[in-house]
């Protein structure tokens, strides 16, 4: 069976196998990393800003969260192409028309594997979204 593959950094592969329904969002079904890669696992990143403020609006939290993820990756010499898996937890319905442009700003066409879950609450009552990233280099 054939695969629809794209390579990133000539090492990480994003795969959407033929014979499996197409992704329902901007993600890859499988992200394959080579055996000799270093793995980086982040704690969940939230919508807090540098002053410790958490906006009450979900979309503002989404913006802060993606900014925090970008800074976190840069701090380790990683870029979005190194991200292999993203887990998203939200306490209210995500505004995908807002979320996906932020996703595209970070990942472009090389979307990693992703899981989304809606839950009743996160670690702080004011948090509405938390995003964890896994990366490889």
Question: How wide is the angle at C-alpha 80 spanned by C-alphas 42 and 24, nearest 5°?
Answer: 90
Ramachandran sector of residue 77 (left: φ over 0; alpha: ψ -120 to 50; beta: rest)? left
Task: Walk me through the domains of the chain, giving residue ranges and CATH numbers.
Answer: 36-136 (3.30.1330.40)
Q: Is pLDDT at 128 greater than 80 in this prediction? A: yes
Q: In Å, what is the CA distance from 11 to each residue of 119, 130, 134?
A: 34, 28, 15
Say what the pLDDT of residue 5 is: 57
Q: What is the pLDDT of residue 110?
A: 83
Indicate whether 15 pLDDT > 90.
Answer: no
Nearest to 67 by CA among 129, 1, 3: 129
Q: What is the pTM of this model?
A: 0.84
Q: Strand runs (DSSP E) across 1-137, as ranges? A: 3-8, 12-17, 30-32, 39-41, 45-46, 83-90, 113-118, 129-136
What's the mean pLDDT when you consider all of the chain?
Answer: 90
Q: What is the pLDDT of residues 46-75, one digit of tens each?
A: 999 989 999 999 999 999 999 999 999 999
């Amino acid at each position: 069976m054939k695969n629809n593959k794209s390579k990133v950094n000539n090492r990480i592969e994003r795969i959407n196998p033929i014979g499996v329904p197409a992704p329902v969002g901007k993600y890859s079904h499988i992200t394959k990393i080579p055996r000799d890669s270093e793995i980086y696992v982040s704690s969940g990143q939230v919508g807090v800003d540098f002053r410790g403020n958490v906006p009450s609006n979900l979309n503002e939290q989404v913006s802060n969260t993606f900014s925090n993820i970008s800074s976190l990756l840069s701090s380790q010499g990683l870029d979005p192409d190194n991200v292999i898996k993203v887990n998203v937890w939200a306490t209210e319905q995500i505004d995908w028309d807002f979320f996906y442009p932020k996703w595209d700003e970070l990942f472009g066409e090389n979307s990693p594997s992703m899981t989304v879950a809606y839950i009743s609450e996160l670690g702080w009552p004011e948090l509405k979204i938390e995003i964890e990233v896994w990366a490889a280099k």
